[in-house]
Chain A
Amino acid sequence: MLTHHTAAPEVIRGRLLQMMAALERTGGTPIDTRSLHAFAFFANVLSPLWDLDPIDGSILKDEQGPYYPALQRELDILVGNGLVTVDSLEQILVSGKKTELTAYFRLAMERARPVLELITCLPDESDTEQFLTELASAFVEILPDKRDDAALVDAAYSDPSVSGGRIVDFAEWVEPTIKNASWNTAQSFQSYMPAGMMLNRAEKLVMYMRLLKRRAHG
């Protein structure tokens, strides 16, 4: 279900393929559903570092971590179209005796390649590819079972002024930079640098993701 400010289904599908390709390149696949949603969340909150638009500017705060129903629907369609493959299906224990059926996804490279090549040809998408590759490289450094936790401690997601069941809005109805705590934190690393040393956007992204990794790993 789309709000007015969620990207169109085709855009989500395109971004999903780019995310899967970035994860493939960095050894992040097969990836489970929850981790993929966590990755999508980071791609959304950190996209202003590359001056990119997020595919969703807000998310419902859920104790299990970020989850985008609209993204899941498009992912299912990509599976149906044979562009993404389900590597395995597993029942995992989520809490107590409660289990959850989870799928592990990977990119069906042969079928997806022409689509990805087409996307990359678009003038604004080569930056997206670079951004997602940087993000995926940092993301896969986090232990697979801690990726959800990393999202839970993200500066925007863990904003104490937003209660569970309410909306974390970082770019939908607010300024995607000033009101985005993740972006702000990533930017703030510059102030800790010695005089004359300028961090580039990739460095800021990696530093931010490593901070989350340390917090998630405990």
Chain B
Amino acid sequence: MRLPFFEHLSIENYRLYPGENSENPLEIPLTAGPLIVLGVNGLGKSTLLLLMKHLLTGAVRLRDAGFTGERSDVVKLDKNFFADRVSDQAKAAKAKIQVKFGTSTLHVSRQLSDLALVEASLETKSQCDKVTNEKDYQDLLASAMGVADFEDALRILNRVTFYLENKDSLIWDVAAQFELFRAILTREISHDLRQLESEIVSSDSSFRNLRATLGKLTKKRDHELLKNEKSATTKAHLAKATAEYDVEERRVIDLIDEVDQWSQRRSDDRIELKRADLAADKAAQTYEQIKFNALRHAFAGVSPNEQYVFLKLISDRVCQSCGTEAEEAAQRIEKRQERNECLVCGSQRVDTSNITTTSAKIQKKAKNAFLALQDARQTRDDTHTKFLESCDGVSSTAAELEIAREKADLAKSNIRKLMANLPDGDKVELEARTSRIEGLREDLLSFQSDRDEAEEKIQNLLSFLKTATEDISEQLVANFRKRAKAFFAEDVRLVYAPRVSRIGQEGRKFDFPAFEVEMTSSATEGHFVRRKADQVSLSQREYLDVIFRMSLIETFGSAGCSMVVDGPEGSIDAVFAERAGDLFSNFSRQNSGNTALLACNVVEGGFIPNCLRDFPKYADKKKRVINLIELGTPTAALIELHAEYDQKVVTILKTKAR
């Protein structure tokens, strides 16, 4: 798989970017290192990044990740998107981009009025393939990127290379992760996997639709029979039983959801409990070791067994022999040690050469270790309580579910019994209708069988993807950790955690490769799983995604790669602006060959200076800025305040990195 490295952008006759001194076409070289697209609101910063994206992809976008069945993953976009931004409808406007994919170079040229392809070519060392229609171009792009098809190329561009205004998430979207890893890691079977998903979703959907139809037909049959039914009492009972059945069925569905939620919580709480338990044990060991060092001399002549028991007594304040609390005994031993008395019987030691007083440093160390031990034990107790709560949640909800199922079964059996009591004439009718229903039921089973067959096949293919993801997970996790450590105040870990899910709404569950984030909480030192975007702040949400993408680029990108980010300075405060600047500076450090193309507002603070920290001279910094204040069509605000904006830009570029 090859990721893009943007080398050059050329824009001709597009009124949004007339260029400095109306140079036409506007030529923008995109050399390795950080590049800032600078401008004020309305100047077209985001549009410039979108233009780069759609030069590559055409007027399409990818559907949201997920199992969509037979629907295409690619959706058409408004092709007049760029035309609508200028008064002449971009009639004569064209743009051209040059992109390197490994050793090949792709040139794409499009009309900006409707994003129609003018021409594209892929140059390799030995040949140059030219295409002029969209379908051939899509194949050419997939081939340049080394992926199975255009959809997979779009996935990679959308979720790795471009992080634009709509902030399509990757780290918070496990379905998107699955599709991305499928595209990157299993090129040979990516198409088959997608095809089987489609078959499963389609069979599953047909199965459920037919089942719903069957349900309706059955209900209708029962209703009609009721109309003819002579016994008013049976009719009333039947209506009541049917209503009860409907209520219980709905309740069963709700409770299944609740059980799933509780089970997820219990699973997370179990991890926390095991960690807290281990942490408490480690804290006890640390304290015991300090005590052992402090008591070394006092332990002279005491057997290792008794030493061990004393150490446990001192650290746990519990007698290991009888299990009772032994604070007094622990204090007594500590005092004996201080007075150079025998730890076992309390007699004064004769040999004074062994007298050592515990230094203030060791005392402080011991005190701190003991406090840490107490904290760790408290945390362990708290997490234990939390775990028990979620266990109770699972069992009580499961018990409710069981009762609801029993009630539903009872109501169903009631309905059957009442039906049996219907008059004979109605029974004949019932049998005829039932026979028709049975016919449909056979079709239903056939759909179910199709789904099962496709699920059997996909299981094998998914195991390839799982293994391939596991092979890269260590590297990806390490790359992520390195960057996250430099950026976040919290300790952040990327964790490989396959997600168990169904492809259809029913049917088998499969393991899908996925990564999730663990962060320390401000309240405790433990790591907590953050599975949803709303579990972190806005800036954390965005930068976790940015760092995840950078890590993917580092893990999969063989040569220099580009990353394109819109508004990286938008969600962060002054302190984190500097860190964010450093993050992009490090990513695109020239010897890495990477480019970070960042669209920013004219903002003071550390973001831009730190981002350009490898270019200390003003003139060099200026070359790293695509300044739309000079190159774009000025807005009303810019016309009025041009001089002030120019001055601000100079000030920002002269500010030294911190």
Contact = CB atoms under 8 A, between A and B. Distances in A.
Interface of A: 1, 3-4, 58-60, 62, 67, 69-70, 72, 76-77, 79-82, 85-89, 91, 99-101, 103, 160-161, 163, 165-167
A3 B270 contact: yes
A5 B275 CA distance: 16
Contacts of B466: 161
Contacts of B477: 163
B72 interface: no
B274 A60 contact: yes
Contacts of A161: 466, 470, 496, 498, 511
Contacts of A76: 312, 316, 320
Interface in B460-514: 466-467, 470-471, 473, 477, 493, 495-498, 511
A17 to B, nearest CB: 15
Q: Which of A4, A70, A99 has the most chain B CB atoms inside 10 A of its CB?
A: A4
B26 interface: no
A178 to B, nearest CB: 14
A87 B303 CA distance: 8
Contacts of A88: 304
Interface size class of B (residues with CB under 8 A): 35 or more
A165 B495 contact: yes
B495 A99 contact: no
Contact of A101 (B288, B320, B467): B288
Nearest to B281: A69
B308 A89 contact: yes
B273 interface: yes
B387 A3 contact: yes
Chain B interface, >50% SS class: helix
B285 interface: yes
A86 B380 contact: no
Interface of B: 270-271, 273-278, 280-281, 285, 288-289, 292, 303-305, 307-309, 312, 316, 319-323, 380, 384, 387, 391, 466-467, 470-471, 473, 477, 493, 495-498, 511, 518, 527
Contact of B278 (A60, A80, A82): A60
Contacts of A77: 320, 323
Contacts of A165: 271, 275, 493, 495, 518, 527
Contacts of B467: 160
A86 B277 contact: no
B281 A72 contact: yes
List the 6 closest A-B pairs by CB distance, nearest first.
A80-B320, A160-B470, A80-B321, A60-B274, A86-B308, A69-B281
A163 B496 contact: yes
Given A86-B304, A163-B495, A100 B285 contact: yes
Contacts of B305: 79, 85-86
Contacts of B275: 60, 165
A103 B308 contact: yes
Contacts of A82: 321
B497 A166 contact: yes
B246 to A, nearest CB: 33
15 contacts: A1-B273, A1-B384, A58-B274, A76-B320, A79-B309, A80-B309, A80-B322, A81-B321, A86-B303, A86-B308, A88-B304, A89-B307, A100-B285, A101-B285, A165-B518
Contacts of B273: 1, 3
A81 B285 CA distance: 20
